[in-house]
Amino acid sequence: MSTVLTFLLFFFIIIIVTIHILLRPLSQGFIRPLLSPLCTLPGPKPFNYIWGSVKDIQSNDPGMAHLKWIKEFGNTFVFKGLFSINRLYTHDLRAVSHIISNPDTFVKAEDYKIGVSKLTGKGLIWAEGDLHKRQRRAMNPAFSTQNVKHLSNVIWDKALQLREIWLSQLDEARCATSSDNDIDSGYESASGPASKAAPSPPASVNVEGIQWITKFSFDVIGLAGFGHAFNFLQSADGEEGDELLGALQTISKSGEKMSFLSTIMLFIPIARYLPFVPEREHAAVNALSTCRRVGGELIAARKQQIAEEGEDEDEKRKDLLSHLIRANISPSVPESMKLTDENVLDQIPTFLLAGHETTATSLSWTVAELASKPAIQDKLRAEIVAAFPDDSDLEFDSHPSYDEINALPYLDGVVKEALRLYPTIQFVKRAAAHDNTVIPLSEDITLRDGSVVREVRLNKGDNIDVPIAGLQRDPKLWGEDALEFNPERWMDGRTSQIRLPGVVQNLMAFMGGAHGCIGYKFAIAEMKIFLFTLIRSFKVELERADMEIVRSSDVFITRPLVKGEFEKGNRLPLKVTAL
């Protein structure tokens, strides 16, 4: 039976792809893209009609295929995406700034919005226009510097909780080592009593870095975002835990890598009516339904709590959900600017997943770099210890302030360098909202017919890849060591002339403009506090000296993999030693 179903599925796919090719003028159009002004731009020859140039992109590290094409075709060119859809790509900073500064002209691509809505609903990442403005306005107070300072206490509590867990594991390892030494040294031979045992080396334990970083980030965003305690750090592996957490993990895994059928359903509208639903997508739909049900219960309970609480500013809840609900019931907010309960509900999976993925992925790569580069780790630790020499200051009720953490220049450099070299999202996809859309350029480009222009024209629906990984790894911007992890570049003035148009100066990792990441201050604070706590207390190494950590480029979010052990999935095996 399974063979018959497989054959039928393959047969349906062939039929649908064929229909799409034949009837493409009725969908995105076969003739229309051929008449697009983008066809006049230079660019690489596609692999074939279905895959376009995607195979070249997937066979290289993120952004590297594009850098190769830039050498051949210049800063601005067009390549073919799936089903040979035109995709504009440019490293011209004037063009990039123009695109992200005009969100009503360059809108989120339709396939991107469909994919996001399936994973998180219609929250801030999905929204555009007036809805996006209303959602963002309601959320701004939650991500103000003052509120992030307050919420940083949540980050500290979870970072210190993780430290205590690892110290407990190290104590167990130390006790086991001491017990073994006692047995070995206590044996008395015929020639006389045993000699005194040599001092034991510092105890070490092996931990799975991604697993613990994920637990930490989920716990933090649960409390800071919605006042919801997952207590994931305290749960045992494989233990049945929080229902909302389980649903979020399912959604997160479903977005790791899309099946071929899911890809077809994303790009070809008629394919969405197929009677077959990919297993991961089916699980994601059920998980999102669970998120919405539990989220609705959270919203109802929080409304009641807020109604019962007084107006004392110091006593108000500071999490995102509480800010959203207070904005909705405030008489000072016009009705036209308030969110519906449905809008508020959409923010729960949006921010739990977006807030978790960004930080967990960025932290995983940062720790991987520090574990493989002891000199950088030692220099970071020296800065931390010099600024805060008394380890007793690092307690649940006593720790450095938000401003003190941000005053550490090398820590700032380490975080920015990790965000530069390993952005969570490799690119952002946009589409022209109107025919005859013009993008200005800072330098001339030569078209296929030999003519020279200083602008690019697009038809409605033409796709644009706003580069993140490519721009942040471009040797023309960052120098010959662009692919090296070097925090010093953020301290010696080298980055001051780059001018990338992001919400963080010279970083595109959080994008920019009206759709720039609203939670970037919180994400950076979370990374810094985690690293401060980890490096202050432990020496971190890769589990084996010969271990190489690499990443795959055939997924949207790139997490660490152990070279030669891809079948084991995303991993970051660490050896942790107490200091």
Please state the residue numbers annotated as binding site for heme. Answer: 517
User: How is residue 53 written in tokens?
Assistant: 């140039």
Pairing verdict, β 76-80 and 86-90: antiparallel
State the DSSP string of 80-127. Answer: E-GGG-EEEEE--HHHHHHHHH-TTTEEEPHHHHHHHHHHH-SSTTT-
CA 470 remoteness from chain centre:
16
Task: Indicate if the alpha-carbon torsion angle 191, 194, 198, 204 is positive or negative.
Answer: positive
User: How is residue 384 written in tokens?
Assistant: 């931390």
Q: 357 phi and psi, to 5 degrees?
A: -60, -45
> What is the rounded CA–CA span in Å between residue 269 and residue 271?
5
> What is the rounded CA–CA span in Å between residue 461 and residue 32?
10
Strand partners, 98: none
Strand partners, 107: 431
Residues belonging to the binding site are 517
Reduce the secondary structure of 321-339 to three states and give it as a string: HHHHHHHHHCCCCCHHHCC
Nearest to 166 by CA among 359, 350, 367, 352: 367
User: How is residue 304 written in tokens?
Assistant: 């009641």
> What is the rounded CA–CA span in Å between residue 114 and residue 124?
14
The beta strand positions in 356-508, using DSSP E, are 427-432, 437-446, 452-458, 463-467
Q: Which residue has the tokens 């092996």?
A: 206
Nearest to 534 by CA among 422, 369, 419, 416: 369
Alpha helices in 373-438 (DSSP H): 374-387, 402-406, 409-421
Question: Using an 8 Å Cβ cutoff, are 52 and 79 in contact?
Answer: yes
User: How is residue 402 written in tokens?
Assistant: 């938000």
Cβ neighbours, 10 Å, residue 239: 8
User: How is residue 239 written in tokens?
Assistant: 């233990």
User: How is residue 347 written in tokens?
Assistant: 């923010």
Nearest to 138 by CA among 346, 294, 307: 346
Pairing verdict, β 427-432 and 106-108: antiparallel
SS3 of residue 460 by DSSP: coil
Could you tell me the CA-to-CA distances from 282 to 123, 242, 262, 279 in Å, in that order? 20, 21, 11, 5
User: How is residue 126 written in tokens?
Assistant: 């999905």
Nearest to 381 by CA among 535, 156, 528: 535
Q: What does the DSSP 8-state code read for residue 49? A: T
User: How is residue 510 written in tokens?
Assistant: 């959080």
